[in-house]
Amino acid sequence: MTYLLGFITALVLSMTIIPLMVRLAPRIGMIDRPDQRKVHAEPIPRAGGVGIVLGALAPLVLWLPLDALSGAYLFGALVLLAFGVWDDIQELGHYVKFIGQFIAVGAVVYYGDLYVTHLPFVAGELEEFTGKVFTVIAMVGMINAVNHSDGLDGLAGGMSLLSLSAMAYLSYLADGEASFLIIVALATLGGIVGFLRYNTHPARVFMGDGGSQFLGFTAGFLAVLLVEKVNTAVSPALPALLLGLPIVDILAVFAQRVYHGMNWFRASKNHIHHRLLALGFDHYEAVVIIYSIQTFFVISAIFLMYESDALILSIYLGVCALVFAFLIVAEKNRWRATKSQRPTGLAKIIDSIKQHRLFSAIPMRFVSLAIPVLFVLTGFMASRIPRDLGVVSAVLVVILLVYLALRRARDTTVLQVVAYVTAAFVVYLETQYCKQWAPYLDTIEVVYFVLLVAAIGITIRYGSKAEFKTTPMDYLIIFVVLFAGFLLHNLPEKAELGGMAVKLMILFYGCELIITRMRKLVHLLTFATLTTLATIAVRGLI
């Protein structure tokens, strides 16, 4: 339950803080202005990192015991946030940013006592001095790798989401420091998911250095923690697959800068994502291609974690070589991605079907009714309500009532966040405390969610309105949740977590679909959310 609350808390805080920072950003100068090396054409606030970091750190402060390692991590994250925000306002030089990075990493390595003790192909343990120096250099390198990969909407956040999800899953299979790693990973994932809803193309906000440096720091920190303390039996080469494409990308960029006599630290347009755009891929295509490569890496890490260093590095370097070989050959031959603008016969058939009432109205009405009914029924049917859910629900009831009293017609952010949290509570209660009501409830549940998925899919794909648009982030989250469900299903003691993740994803998309099509805030979903939270609050507190 702590893991779920950590993710939800981070998600809610991230989605709440970011809109506030977007409004504040122009006043304090946190604006990313276009130039020749950037792909956006309009000034964009780069304040999203504040929401990611504060959202991710809040659950750690609330639920983690403070020791040397967790204290060092929190200190390092705040240092990077401070330097990152400073840079987002004032454009610091590279050497000033390095100061913040070395302070943050040094705290983890020398005060938290976390460092690399084994390297691939090296027999025996490294000396403490050598291991600590190597870890500092490697983690600072990872901070900059993610920082430099933040060049397209959703790119750095999406790749970090994949890496952290894989590390969280691998920690479920281990003991030791696993709980610490899992809650850090899930809290950070909550912050990322909250941010990505504002950052998918065309982005309304960038994470800036405050966010990208934190994500690189967290990814590097958790990778070392995983192989050094959580599961020391895995290959020391595993972080290469877990961290994936940003590592080889920044190394290749540095190599090109050295070869061409350029400034090593001056930003340029020769990253993988820039080269894909230059080949004619559009923004979404470039992001999805990179997501796919990163996905292959993290899946390989999951299935090959106990394999030899040679096999792991061969797969990593082989895929990287194929990627760069494709880029080099395509660039030399001036190949361009081509797109046909003429609609196909299938597209014409689908366009005509879209106009039919069966696809334009009925599925949406089913979604609008089915989710509120599930909310309300679960609140009443649960055999027990944990007290912590009751407390949080009571707070959310007050927030939602104040929001409705002061509502702004076009601002549904608060309703969306509260509906998401309610969906998470409903899934947890339905899974843990509703099985006693009917012997065939499992079958009813499967039928319900299959019908809901079908209705959501038909409405998104064939509905006449276009407020809800799928993005690379949607494909990313769908993959992560479904793959997590598949993996957790194979662990008997944790199988229910996979099912909960899948159901939660379905309800998230259903709630968003309803909210994007609401004409008024006084809606069945709003009433059901308020009723469900009030029920959970009363039952959990009495």
Q: What share of the chain is helix, strand, coil (3-state, %, to 5)?
A: 75, 0, 25
Nearby residues of 144 by Cβ (< 8 Å), 6 or more positions away: 101, 216, 250
Q: How far apart are CA 398 and CA 402, in angstroms?
A: 6
Task: Flag whether 209 is marked binding.
Answer: yes
Query: Distance of alpha carbon 439 from its chain centroid, rounded?
Result: 37
Give the single-character DSSP code of 409.
T
For residue 47, what are its two tokens?
Answer: 């304040």
Distances (CA, A) of 14 to 192, 198, 366: 8, 10, 30
Mapping DSSP onto H, E and C, the string for 64-129 reads: CCCCHHHHHHHHHHHHHHHHHHHHHHHCCCHHHHHHHHHHHHHHHHHHCCCCCCCCCCCCCCCCHH
Q: How far apart are CA 527 and CA 513, in angstroms?
A: 16
**Phi, then psi, of 222 in degrees rounded to 5:** -70, -30
Q: Is 374 exposed, middle or buried (0-12, 13-18, 19+ CB in 10 A)?
A: buried
Task: Flag whether 490 is marked binding.
Answer: no
Which residues are part of a known binding site? 147, 209
Which residues are part of a known binding site for Mg(2+)? 147, 209
